[in-house]
Amino acid sequence: MSDKRDYYEVLGVEKNADDKELKQAFRILARRYHPDKNDAEDAESRFKEIQEAYAVLSDPDKRRQYDRFGHNVPGGSPFGAGGFNINLEDILGGDFFSSIFGGGRRSSGGGADIRIRHQVTLEEAYTGTKSELNLDLPTECLSCQGTGAEGGSTSTCGTCRGQGRVRVRQQIGPFISDAVQTCEECQGSGFTHDADCGDCDGIGSVNQPQTIRFDIPEGADNGMVMRMRGRGEPARRGRGQPGDLHIEIMVEEHPWFERSGMDLIMSLPLGYSDLVTGCDVTIPHVDGKDLKISVPSKSNSGDTVTIPRRGMPSNRSRGRGDVIVLLKLVMPSKFSKQDLKKIKEMKQILDGELSIIERMENDAKIRRHSSS
């Protein structure tokens, strides 16, 4: 835990950076390291690190806690780093996403890639599932074989003589250079036509309902992208390879679980007596079976109970994460006068035999020990 980089260092800002500076630093770094924009191997982990740092520092409560305790919040709260939600679209602006989603990158002269988002539940991500989507996707226009020409009859482009490229003489200051450019007349296809195809308005493709079937692997993570070769936009005017269809998996929020890598994290609010005497709590689990949480007697609020190997499966190896349960003391919102009287009578039992100073010292000792 303590080998984590300092959040301020991650974002490259001063300790006293204000909201505006944080947002700006985040915006620049997120754009640079977004896995869709950056092919480097560590781009994804860098991006996650940046996201986490921003999520904590942009939340005044979490930032105060971080400033005080660093990565080691007393009580070992597993929610220090996990369970954050940032609306990337808000911060990065729509233009960033439209250039990734839907807009499409053109792969070397061929058709553009298409990206769609597909939501699955945590249960579906846990077990893996077969999915089927009905989408309207651009497909090659059959009337013109994708050429965009009425009846498919094209003629060789006169400007580039069918090459699709033209040599252009450019003068930049005193220098004259020859450059090769895509032919504007035929947009690089090498063909022109007189009349546009009536079925596709000369585009060469039409939207058609298609059924896309794909498997979501067990352990599928939020943001996982599945690529289906050749299911993207057809190449313009029928020349070149069609683009790919990218399906981005979005895992829906679960009512109580947060995901931290392969681990599933939840908090379990319990009354004082359950924490003192210990108890067994059985809840339905994402694997379809029951999950039994055994709370030991004399548990503290902030303690964690780990249930090994009931977390998410890995989508890469055969490993499996744990379920980590954070115990919390639940405080009733109402007490009657009689209740308060009863509780006061128990004060000596509830407080324990140590003095307030001894309790403070003990707590500091435990906190410092657990964070080393």
For residue 159, the minimal CB distance to Zn ion (Å) is 5
CA 221, 222, 224, 225 torsion-angle sign: positive
Tokens of residue 299, six digits: 């548990």
Max Cα distance, the chain (Å): 100
291 φ, ψ (degrees, to nearest 5): -115, 120
Tokens of 227: 């690529």
Shortest Cβ 326–Zn ion spacing (Å): 60
Tell me whether residue 145 or residue 315 sits nearer to Zn ion (CB atom): 145
Rounded to a whole number of angstroms, the minimum distance from the CB of residue 160 to Zn ion is 3
| Cβ-based nearer residue to Zn ion, 75 or 234 | 234
- The CB-of-154 to Zn ion minimum distance in angstroms stands at 11
Cβ-contact 134, 209 below 8 angstroms? yes
> Which residues lie closer than 8 Å to 34 by C-beta, 6 or more apart?
43, 47, 96, 100
What DSSP line would sit under 271-338, residue for residue? -HHHHHH-EEEEEE-TTSSEEEEEEPTTPPTT-EEEETT-SPBPSSSS-B--EEEEEEE---S---HH
327 in Cβ contact with 275 (< 8 Å)? yes
Comparison of 62 and 237: residue with beta carbon closer to Zn ion: 237
The closest alpha carbon to 9, from 74, 62, 61, 70, belongs to 70
The nearer residue to Zn ion, 156 or 355, going by C-beta atoms, is 156
Q: What is the number of H-type helices and E-type strands within the chain? A: 11, 15
Shortest reach from residue 200's CB to Zn ion, in Å: 3
**Between 102 and 158, whose beta carbon lies closer to Zn ion?**
158
Q: Shortest approach of Zn ion to residue 214 CB, angstroms?
A: 29
Cα separations in angstroms, 84 against 56, 88, 106, 258: 8, 12, 34, 9
* Between 173 and 209, CB nearer to Zn ion: 209
Q: Based on CB atoms, which residue is closest to Zn ion, 75 or 146?
A: 146
* Binding residues vs Zn ion (CB under 5 A): 141, 143-144, 157, 159-160, 183, 185-186, 197, 199-200
Q: Closest distance between Zn ion and the C-beta of residue 185, in Å?
A: 4
Structure tokens at 188: 């690089």
DSSP code, position 183: -
CA proximity to 43, closest of 30, 56, 24: 30
DSSP state of 110: S
Q: Pick the closer one to Zn ion by CB: 44 or 185.
A: 185
Tell me how far, at minimum, the Cβ of 199 lies from Zn ion, in Å: 5
Token pair in block for residue 363: 């707590």
Please state, in angstroms and rounded to a whole number, the distance separating the CA atoms of residues 38 and 22: 22
**Residue 157 CB, nearest distance to Zn ion (Å)?**
3
Closer residue to Zn ion (CB): 35 or 202:
202
